């Protein structure tokens, strides 16, 4: 019998359904990368809201937009601080915007009486942050085509301001902001005020920002004819207590990152905005000493469509320590109402609430706000108005205005915001502080990244990480800085091993997560793809420099090459330089290297440097210099050279030593050796994964 149209449709649907069932989604499931996510974000933005920045500013009656390119949240925080200050001090109508939320083809129509501010972090090797990639491609890398104006200088109407966040220990210091500034000027736009640059490498980011913005405001005020007024706090978010809801209601977010998680049917794509709550397959301690910890953790991704490639990073979302959550509620006088359900809404259409609501004060502080981070001087100054006593007000004002005093009292002692409030007004509660200022003034929690320390060829569903636990005692005993994520991972590991010994600093965590959703040892994670890659041809030689946890990705690299050798493939020379304090204390994966050696034979060589075992401190750079001849020969044979770990000193010194080696071995001037290293970098034969 001939089939009619309905039959054909029914058959097709059945066929597709069967294929879907049999493939369990693998036919369309892809590893989501940040770029995939950006695209999906854009299409959502396109469907729901405008991507036309000028239209948005018009609609919401704004005359200053602060666009940010942010990876870890600092640039985003600076953007919102500028927005608040512009509004409070100068009456500007400000909005903050994520660079990836808008298109820029009509930037040539930007009204001349408005101003655009670019707050741009540089990531890795002079790259834009994930959310700034498209803007950067448009304005710097491409030949921007503007909608109206095809002249050589299409942006003559555009008045702009720039501040960059960079790190001078990287070769391409503040490259992102410099390139954008250069492009905008070339296109005819006019920068107001100095091009600001903050240096994380020198530890002066905050002070660089503060001193830059004062000069910038002065010039902007002059240019736009603005009059400064006494700053008053204007909330960005409205907080409403919801007496009709309790934390038990299933519409209330208790720390779940989004609706799917709330409804218990979390779905992919998982990415840095949508974590997968992954089971911890195994956790163990890598050090043999009591006072320092390093966690090896194996994360099971088999129930997600996430996969990774050797050299990628794992994003891990932390939970704040209970003791710090309690400290903040106590000092704010909010202990009684921490579990009250609240709604948080942006007071105008351009302010985005950084977490889902309705929620509770407790969930916000525990899961969404960086309550332990470095405190900014500007934030302290803004809290002076809410001090419980005149003395406390004076002290906060002094801290806010005296850079050296602030550094000595707060920064050097690693105090977090609640500790500052406790110390400034002992025994008092700061109940006048509006909770909205806590959300606006502190960063929202960002995932931390860990270099994956396993090979995807060996197991692409269970990446491992190797994280050293941050615990820094302030000399004199006035405080101990406890890293947020690494101490959370440590607590998870202790619990998984049934270790009853309490943390000596009283850290406790909501290990089982919101509504016990992390019970059975789970941690919120995602994969971030990187450019840190083994050569596709395994017969190429590789030289790896990875002291401390810098060895993490190289464990993956060596694991992979050992597996390939076992499969009968030809594997080239594999040199690994590893360093730590003492062979008996912190020699990471000490027992595994001989196994890889067995599989790789002479191709593998591990060269160690123990800085505290002998009379002389020996570091990987010293061992590298000893291997000058072999290193030079391998590079002449096309070896890939990798560095991972500490960006501030080690990576720089290794770079320098390699330049010297190449010069000396080839009988060249030192300068030429450094040029050769630069060439290796630009041809991707010198790769870094540093932090």
Query: What secondary structure letter does DSSP report for 514?
Result: G
Of 470, 633, 656, 664, the one binding ligand FAD (CB under 6 A) is 470
Pattern 292-331, ligand FAD, x by CB under 6 A: ---------------------x----x-------------
Min CB(280)–ligand FAD separation in Å: 16
Q: Does 691 bind ligand FAD (CB under 6 A)?
A: yes
Residue 522 near residue 281, CB atoms below 8 Å: no
Q: Give the Cα-Cα-Cα angle 517, 519, 524 (nearest 5 degrees).
A: 60
- Site for ligand FAD, residues 122 to 161, rule: CB under 6 A: none
Which of 451, 453, 456, 530 is flagged as catalytic?
451
Task: Please indicate whether residue 691 is annotated as part of the active site.
Answer: yes
Min CB(316)–ligand FAD separation in Å: 8
Q: Does 651 bind ligand FAD (CB under 6 A)?
A: no
Q: Does 467 bind ligand FAD (CB under 6 A)?
A: yes
Of the candidates 312, 280, 270, 283, which has an alpha carbon nearest to the alpha carbon of residue 523? Answer: 280
Gyration radius (Cα) of the chain, Å: 27
Task: Please indicate whether residue 430 is annotated as part of the active site.
Answer: no
Q: Does 686 bind ligand FAD (CB under 6 A)?
A: no
| Beta-sheet pairing, 471-473 with 480-482 | antiparallel
Nearer to ligand FAD, 455 or 485 (CB): 485
Of 139, 484, 490, 624, the one binding ligand FAD (CB under 6 A) is 484
- Site for ligand FAD, residues 243 to 272, rule: CB under 6 A: none
| Beta-sheet pairing, 542-545 with 574-580 | parallel
Neighbouring residues of 424: CB distance < 8 A, sequence distance ≥ 6: 387, 392, 395, 396, 399
Q: Does 625 bind ligand FAD (CB under 6 A)?
A: no
Of 102, 104, 140, 449, the one binding ligand FAD (CB under 6 A) is 449
Q: Which stretch binds ligand FAD (CB under 6 A): 126-134, 184-192, 479-487, 575-583?
A: 479-487
Residue 460 near residue 307, CB atoms below 8 Å: yes
Min CB(264)–ligand FAD separation in Å: 27
Task: Please indicate whether residue 451 is annotated as part of the active site.
Answer: yes
Q: Does 448 bind ligand FAD (CB under 6 A)?
A: yes
Min CB(484)–ligand FAD separation in Å: 4
Q: Which residues of 149-169 are buried (b: 16+ CB within 10 A; e: fewer)?
A: beeeebbebbbbbbbbbbbeb
Min CB(105)–ligand FAD separation in Å: 33
Q: Does 677 bind ligand FAD (CB under 6 A)?
A: no
Q: Does 468 bind ligand FAD (CB under 6 A)?
A: yes
Closest residue to ligand FAD in the complex (CB): 483
Outline where 371-434 has alpha helix (H).
377-383, 390-401, 403-409, 417-424
Which contacts of 334-341 are long-range, i.e. CB under 8 A and separated by 24 or more positions? 334/361, 334/431, 334/435, 337/241, 337/361, 338/362, 338/365, 339/247, 340/241, 340/242, 341/241, 341/242, 341/245, 341/246, 341/247, 341/249, 341/252
Nearer to ligand FAD, 468 or 511 (CB): 468
First to last CA, the chain: 69
Of 31, 272, 305, 549, the one binding ligand FAD (CB under 6 A) is 549
d(C-alpha 85, C-alpha 509), whole Å: 35
The number of beta carbons lying within 10 Å of the beta carbon of residue 231 is: 15
Three-class SS state of 282 = strand
Task: Please indicate whether residue 644 is annotated as part of the active site.
Answer: yes
- Site for ligand FAD, residues 354 to 373, rule: CB under 6 A: 372-373
CA 120, distance to chain mean position in Å, is: 14
- Site for ligand FAD, residues 407 to 436, rule: CB under 6 A: 414, 416
Min CB(24)–ligand FAD separation in Å: 31
Interface positions with ligand FAD (CB under 6 A): 313, 318, 372-374, 414, 416, 448-451, 466-468, 470, 481, 483-486, 549, 552, 691
- Residues marked active site are found at 451, 644, 689, 691
């Amino acid at each position: 019998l001939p089939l009619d149209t309905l039959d054909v449709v029914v058959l097709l649907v059945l066929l597709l359904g069967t294929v879907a069932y049999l493939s369990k989604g693998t036919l369309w499931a892809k590893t989501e990368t940040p770029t995939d996510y950006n695209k999906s974000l854009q299409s959502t933005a396109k469907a729901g809201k405008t991507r036309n920045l000028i239209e948005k500013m018009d609609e919401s009656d704004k005359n200053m937009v602060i666009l940010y390119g942010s990876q870890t949240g600092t640039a985003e925080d600076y953007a919102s601080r500028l927005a608040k200050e512009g509004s409070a001090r100068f009456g500007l109508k400000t909005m903050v915007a994520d660079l990836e939320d808008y298109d820029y083809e009509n930037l040539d129509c930007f009204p001349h009486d408005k101003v655009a501010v670019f707050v741009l972090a540089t990531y890795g090797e002079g790259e834009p942050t994930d959310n700034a990639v498209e803007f950067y491609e448009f304005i710097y890398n491409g030949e921007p085509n503007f909608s109206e104006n095809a002249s050589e200088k299409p942006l003559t109407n555009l008045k702009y301001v720039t501040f960059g966040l960079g790190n001078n220990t990287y070769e391409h210091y503040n490259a992102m902001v410099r390139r954008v500034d250069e492009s905008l000027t070339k296109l005819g736009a006019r920068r107001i005020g100095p091009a600001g640059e903050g240096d994380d490498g020198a530890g002066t980011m905050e002070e660089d920002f503060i001193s830059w913005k004062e000069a910038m405001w002065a010039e902007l005020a002059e240019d736009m004819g603005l009059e400064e007024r006494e700053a008053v706090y204007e909330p960005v978010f409205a907080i409403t207590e919801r007496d009709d809801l309790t934390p038990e209601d299933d519409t209330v977010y208790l720390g779940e990152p989004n609706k799917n998680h709330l409804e218990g049917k979390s779905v992919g794509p998982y990415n840095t905005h949508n974590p997968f709550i992954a089971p911890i397959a195994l956790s163990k301690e890598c050090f043999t000493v009591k006072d320092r910890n390093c966690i090896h953790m194996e994360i099971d991704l088999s129930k997600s469509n996430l996969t990774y490639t050797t050299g990628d990073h794992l994003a891990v979302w932390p939970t704040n320590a209970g003791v710090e959550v309690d400290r903040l509620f106590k000092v704010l006088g909010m202990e009684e109402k921490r579990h009250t359900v609240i709604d948080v809404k942006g007071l105008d259409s351009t302010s985005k609430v950084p977490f889902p609501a309705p929620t509770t004060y407790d969930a916000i502080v525990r899961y969404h706000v960086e309550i332990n981070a470095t405190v900014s001087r500007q934030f302290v100054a803004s809290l002076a108005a809410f001090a419980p006593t005149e003395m406390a007000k004076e002290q906060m004002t002094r801290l806010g205005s005296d850079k050296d005093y602030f550094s000595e009292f707060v920064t050097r002692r690693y105090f977090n915001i609640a500790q500052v409030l406790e110390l400034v007004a002992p025994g008092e509660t700061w109940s006048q502080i509006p909770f909205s200022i806590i959300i606006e003034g502190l960063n929202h929690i960002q995932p931390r990244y860990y270099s994956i320390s396993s090979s995807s060829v060996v197991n692409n569903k269970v990446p491992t990480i190797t994280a050293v636990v941050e615990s820094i005692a302030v000399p004199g005993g006035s405080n101990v800085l406890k890293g947020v994520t690494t101490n959370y991972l440590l607590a998870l590991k202790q619990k998984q091993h049934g270790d009853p010994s309490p943390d000596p600093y009283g850290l406790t965590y909501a290990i089982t997560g919101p509504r016990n959703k992390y019970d059975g040892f789970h941690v919120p994670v995602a994969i971030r793809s990187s450019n840190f890659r083994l050569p596709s041809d395994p017969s190429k030689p590789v030289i790896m420099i990875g002291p401390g946890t810098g060895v993490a990705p190289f464990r993956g690299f060596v694991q992979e090459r050992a597996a390939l050798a076992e499969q009968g493939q030809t594997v080239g020379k594999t040199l690994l330089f590893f360093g730590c304090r003492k062979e008996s204390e912190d020699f990471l994966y000490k027992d595994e290297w001989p196994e890889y050696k067995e599989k790789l034979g002479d191709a593998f060589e591990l060269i160690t440097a123990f800085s505290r075992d002998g009379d002389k401190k020996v570091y990987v750079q010293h061992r590298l210099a000893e291997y000058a001849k072999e290193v030079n020969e391998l590079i002449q044979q096309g070896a890939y050279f990798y560095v991972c770990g500490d960006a501030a000193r080690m990576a720089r010194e290794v770079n320098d030593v390699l330049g010297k080696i190449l010069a000396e071995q080839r009988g060249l001037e030192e300068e030429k050796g450094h040029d050769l290293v630069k060439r290796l970098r630009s041809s991707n034969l010198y790769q870094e994964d540093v932090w």
